[in-house]
Amino acid sequence: MMLNLKEDLHIHCNYNDHSSKDLTIANIINKSEDLDLERIAITEHVRKNSEWTKKYIEELNYYVPRTRIKMLKGFEAKILVNGEIDCPAEFLNDEYFIVASFHTKYNKEQWSEALIKAIENPNVDVIGHLAPEFDFKVDDNEIRNLAELVVANKKKIEINSKYIRPPKGFLKIFKEYGVEFHLGSDAHSINEIGDFNRIKDLINIIEQK
């Protein structure tokens, strides 16, 4: 399958304090237009108790009709140890693009069980920067089971250029099973938007026949 390099479906902004101050939604759109991107998703880190979401959605709604770029209104939400997604319930519907990612270190059993629930969650669109923790391995049979589950639940798997993930072993098996992929820069600053140079190897694995 071919990946659309004119698409970046994982971009942060300045609503939390972990990204560059100038990573405003307006600047993201200007930069994306300069790069001639076709589609972007702004996916700020959310938690169930985040207090900025109303203003964020209002600002996204303001820009959606004011740019030629197709804009998805999104959130990146943490996969909790019980497999729930750390996102306010009001955004868990078709209107919002939800990237579910691990941001806390779990042991293998916790990780596997939480991941299965996240993949089965109908409100999750994509699993972000998927990879096992450094202190456990996932064997090929386990990856095959995940691949089947991803396909059965019509989830996408993100190829993430910040963390250079998923690992190649995952990608090769996922590809065999017909898993669908898209690109995410995970940009925390303006210049990272749409930059996939660090993951050329991963892109080649997906695109080679």
**Under rule CB under 5 A, residue 192 binds Zn ion:** no
Nearer to Zn ion, 74 or 143 (CB): 74
Question: Looking at beta carbons, which residue is closest to Zn ion?
Answer: 101
Range in contact with Zn ion (rule: CB under 5 A) among 16-24, 71-79, 82-90, 146-154: 71-79
Nearer to Zn ion, 45 or 175 (CB): 45
Q: Which of residues 83-112 bind Zn ion (CB under 5 A)?
A: 101
* 76 contacts Zn ion (rule: CB under 5 A): yes
Q: What is the rounded radius of gyration, in angstroms, for the C-alpha atoms of the chain? A: 16
First-to-last C-alpha distance (Å) of the chain: 8
Q: Which is nearer to Zn ion, 79 or 150 (CB)?
A: 79
The string of DSSP codes covering 56-111 is HHHHHHHHGGGSSSEEEEEEEEEBPTTS-BSS-GGG-STTSEEEEE--S---HHHH
Nearer to Zn ion, 134 or 139 (CB): 134
**Measured from the CB atom, is 133 or 144 closer to Zn ion?**
133
Nearer to Zn ion, 29 or 46 (CB): 46
Of 48-56, 81-89, 142-150, 183-191, which part binds Zn ion (CB under 5 A)?
Answer: 183-191
Count residues binding Zn ion (CB under 5 A).
Answer: 3
Neighbours of 78 (CB within 10 A): 20
Nearest of 38, 44, 37 to residue 60 by alpha carbon: 44
The span of 19-27, 57-65, 106-114, 184-192 binding Zn ion (CB under 5 A) equals: 184-192
Using the rule CB under 5 A, is 186 a contact of Zn ion? yes
3-state class of 190 per DSSP? helix
Provide the minimum distance between the beta carbon of 78 and Zn ion in the complex, in angstroms, as a whole number.
Answer: 8
Residue 165: is it exposed, middle or buried by C-beta count within 10 angstroms (0-12/13-18/19+)? buried
Q: Is residue 125 within the footprint of Zn ion (CB under 5 A)?
A: no
Residue 64, judged by CB atoms within 10 A of its CB (0-12, 13-18, 19+), counts as middle
Q: Which helix (H) or strand (E) holds 5?
A: none
CB 11, min distance to Zn ion, A: 8
How many angstroms separate the CA atoms of 129 and 166, rounded?
6
Contacts to Zn ion by CB under 5 A: 76, 101, 186
